[in-house]
Amino acid sequence: MAQSGLNSTVKLLGTWGSPFALRAQVALHLKSVEYEYMEEVLNSKSDLLLESNPIYKKVPVLIHGDVSVCESLNIVQYIDESWPSDPSILPSHPSDRAFARFWAHFVDGKCFETINEVAGAKDNDVRMAMAGNLTDCLTSLEEAFQKSSKGGYLFGGENIGFLDIACGAMVGPLSVVEAFSGVKFLNEDTTPGMLQWAEKFRAHEAVEPYLPTVAEFLEFAKKKFNVQ
């Protein structure tokens, strides 16, 4: 089995604006890990990407010495376990870790699906129908936030944790679908906690250097979805 020590070379394969590469970047920043960021062009994937992620052939991929780690949530957990110094990313208690993992998978399995449906809708009627599904997802996350944050501004309370990083991947895409649909999905009425959380997350020193602006995300999305 391949082995990697703490002092092994670290590389991260990603693409500009990738919400999933953002997760790895935030985790590496929190752990003060020095690494080389390697930008991928997805319509011309590098040999290194194809070799390091032969199953899915997509970013992000963390390369730690001779070990390749794929899938963003898996990468975040690997970083937390491989560099065990503070701050800890996953909660210490097993029940809290299970809670965080459950809602992180809810984000990837449900929330991102509905975000893509709203962003890619071909007409406004379809977009507004999909918007209702996204509102339901975020209402559920608001309940999870109120339970997890314990009165703090982040899912981890006062510090960024695993669930913050998982949900933080949605911040950019959410700003795009809000612009496309005219609906404020994060608002004071239905998601007051998540609204404040998004502001705190975006401004955090471990996030701000890697998260594109709303205007940059919007311009990228218009090209991707061919929206004027």
Span 35-91, pLDDT tens digits: 999 999 978 999 999 999 999 999 999 999 999 999 999 999 999 999 999 999 999
pLDDT at 1 over 50: no
Tokens representing 84 are: 């065990």
Check residues 162 and 217 and name the one with the higher pLDDT: 162
pTM tops 0.85, yes or no: yes
Mean pLDDT taken over the chain: 92
Distances (CA, A) of 23 to 31, 60, 100: 13, 9, 15
Asked if CATH classification 3.10.20.30 holds for the domain at 94-225, the reply, yes or no, is no
The CATH number of domain 10-82, selected from 3.20.20.140, 3.40.30.10, 3.40.630.10, 3.30.40.10 = 3.40.30.10
Residue 176 is predicted with a pLDDT of 87
**Mean pLDDT confidence for 182-195:** 95
**Mean pLDDT confidence for 113-138:** 89
What is the torsion angle, in degrees rounded to the nearest 10, for the CA atoms of residue 127, residue 100, residue 193 and residue 128? Answer: 10
Tokens representing 26 are: 């935030």
First vs last C-alpha separation in the chain = 50
- Any idea where the domains of the chain sit in the sequence? 10-82, 94-225
Tell which residue, 199, 223, 201, 197, has the closest CA to residue 210. Answer: 201
* Cβ-count burial 5-38 (b if 16+ within 10 Å, e if not): eeeeebbbbbeebbbbbbbbbbbbbbbebebeee
Residue 114 is predicted with a pLDDT of 93
Separation between Cα atoms, residue 145 and residue 151, nearest integer Å: 9
Which residues are registered as beta bridge partners of 67?
A: 64
Give the pairing of strands 36-39 and 10-14.
parallel
